[in-house]
Structure 1
């Protein structure tokens, strides 16, 4: 079977990678006022050069900057949207892990102005990544439009600015469409929209929580799909867009559980992306049966290798699970990746860089053996 030349690739990864110790130290010194902005930028540049070399050396066809310039995979982007402000309110996000549970607090957001984009968000970061990639396709990851809405819903909208939620959605998709156009103009050919909301909505507990807030939990995913399509509908043919649907990833913990059954039919048949990165690393991910809705021409990147623990999967187990998935969607439409990033926040998951490298190398080896 031929190697893929367009994203997503047979051996791929979600985006974030563990921050090296030198970069974490530089960030700490910068936060204490001991390191100027330009010195932090230089430390980030050095770390990104190294991690791109690492990815290319492993044989991956794509490279990210590991999200090394970010503290959070999504909020660093969202707070740069015009019209979005950080508030003093602290939201507690409850997470679960193999040991029981944990939580973290995050600043809330308020949409208190008209939404828009100035310069391309993460544009400078992508341009630098593009300059240091030598053999692969540079990939940029950004949060999907749904992430601006999911936590706060209509309650986060200033009624003086957006008395009508439909107007908010129109402006949000237009802002994202502007961002997509600007990123494409920089030469980006691989853009990934990271989205927890479409995965969270498969969890009955998450839907019950939204219903208690007065939201239409049974149909919210349909609205999200429409708005994402509006955001990416005008992209040039050269720009390949994927989405990653995550159930939460913070220090090896997660927030939601359940298979993709609730959103599957609408998601796979209506969302206008080129590929779907799906978490399938353990029992909480559900079965492969929802993949029966994936139409021809769409790629499914099976997240069979966990980024949440250091244990290395066996090749035989991975191949067996790929065969199981191929019962529902043809093998040529499948790819392989970790189930999520290794460091969605700056803290990272509970494994070492060597263990991360072993998992990425395993993905490349299995992909070569399965697809050639």
Structure 2
């Protein structure tokens, strides 16, 4: 068996990159019926190969496909499950009036072994050569929150008698997904689960209560679902989670500190690392990190460099903040990354494409100045 990757790495990424114009053009042509799905895939492969090479050039120890094969960071993954229904709706939730898509559970959940993300991973792995591929998918509680708790469609026609019944099917769905990725050769998997933000954001806690649920009780529900989803996970596979407060065209969704959820979230022992947003004052202090168990080697990846704006952070200030965090979590258990991806949806954040590489070079250089093992993979 090959050695397990030393991930999350001292300098790492969340996953997405700004879509090149060729991707936008190809998707538009496919939607218009001018090219086939396979022709779209070929364009994606060309652009994924380019973004992989750019990631290698900046020194990343594992690369992603930039999430170029999807429209949304979360929905394309969830839409491939049995039991999920997709629909369009208008929202101004991010401060932008936009037609978006949502999901709800309309029949029992299960994993489709023919999910397109598995084939997408294989294509990316082939393009990456000997460099490990980090696969990003949305976490299970994106379904718990958006497709059940906050869903009027689900409330009108519930599939499960209670959240315990949901937990078992949802966890089994993710267990099967994890095995499918492992069988395909994936050794670095990340579950992006921003749903936790709703449990500390006052505005969303009120929405949850209006739907008849207790947000404090959901903290343990979210944790229990995730724990069960990670049961039996392969020992040679790194699995991390990423939790930010929303990232859509440089806008955010949730506000509040991690204190409300940290006790439960940071005690999910099936994760090897936690990518946490810490790029502005909305993140609060590092104090909630005290809940990280002391008897594990799990790492916390500090998202101290923002992807929302083009301004480059002051390296010395970032080093100072790392030192602040190290007063709570030992430095050897800390890493550095951007606070989120650069393009959580196909629209992307409001920055020039060159900025994303400048930001990653900054993260790399700061990490090398802080950790002696920054270049170990």
- Taking structure 1 as the reference length, the TM-score comes to 0.93
| Dislocated runs of 4+, deviation >4 Å | 157-160
Residue 271 of structure 1: CA displacement? 4.7
- Within 5 A, what are the aligned runs for 1:60-75? 60-75=60-75
- What residue ranges of structure 1 are gaps of 5+ in the alignment? 96-100
- Within 5 A, what are the aligned runs for 1:241-252? 241-252=239-250
Conserved in 1, the CA contact under 8 Å of 2:104 and 2:146?
A: no
Conserved in 1, the CA contact under 8 Å of 2:5 and 2:238?
A: no
- Within 5 A, what are the aligned runs for 1:77-116? 77-87=77-87, 90=89, 92-95=91-94, 101-116=95-110
Change beyond 3 A, Cα 1:118–1:153: closer
Change beyond 3 A, Cα 1:332–1:120: farther
Q: Does 1:126 align with 2:96?
A: no
Query: Aligned partners of 2:222, 2:97: CA distance in 1, in Å?
Result: 26
Change beyond 3 A, Cα 1:160–1:355: closer
1:76-122 deviations in whole A, cap 9, x for unaligned? 0111100111246x252511xxxxx3243323323222211122531
Residue 159 of structure 1: CA displacement? 4.6
Query: Aligned partners of 1:200, 1:142: CA distance in 2, in Å?
Result: 19
Change beyond 3 A, Cα 1:34–1:159: closer
Query: Aligned partners of 2:332, 2:56: CA distance in 1, in Å?
Result: 23
- What residue ranges of structure 2 are gaps of 5+ in the alignment? 373-377
Q: CA RMSD in A?
A: 1.7
Conserved in 2, the CA contact under 8 Å of 1:16 and 1:66?
A: yes
Query: Aligned partners of 1:252, 1:159: CA distance in 2, in Å?
Result: 35
Change beyond 3 A, Cα 1:236–1:158: farther
1:242-278 deviations in whole A, cap 9, x for unaligned? 0000211110001111111101112112452110000
Change beyond 3 A, Cα 1:158–1:321: same
Query: Aligned partners of 2:11, 2:41: CA distance in 1, in Å?
Result: 30
Query: Aligned partners of 2:158, 2:358: CA distance in 1, in Å?
Result: 52
Aligned residues: 363
The structure whose residues are more often strand, as a share, is 1
Aligned to 1:178: 176
Query: Aligned partners of 2:163, 2:277: CA distance in 1, in Å?
Result: 31
Q: Which of 256, 272, 297 is residue 254 of structure 2 equivalent to?
A: 256
Change beyond 3 A, Cα 1:289–1:142: same
Query: Aligned partners of 1:164, 1:17: CA distance in 2, in Å?
Result: 38
Conserved in 2, the CA contact under 8 Å of 1:225 and 1:271?
A: no
1:314-360 deviations in whole A, cap 9, x for unaligned? 21111111111101100000000000010000000001110111001
Aligned to 2:237: 239
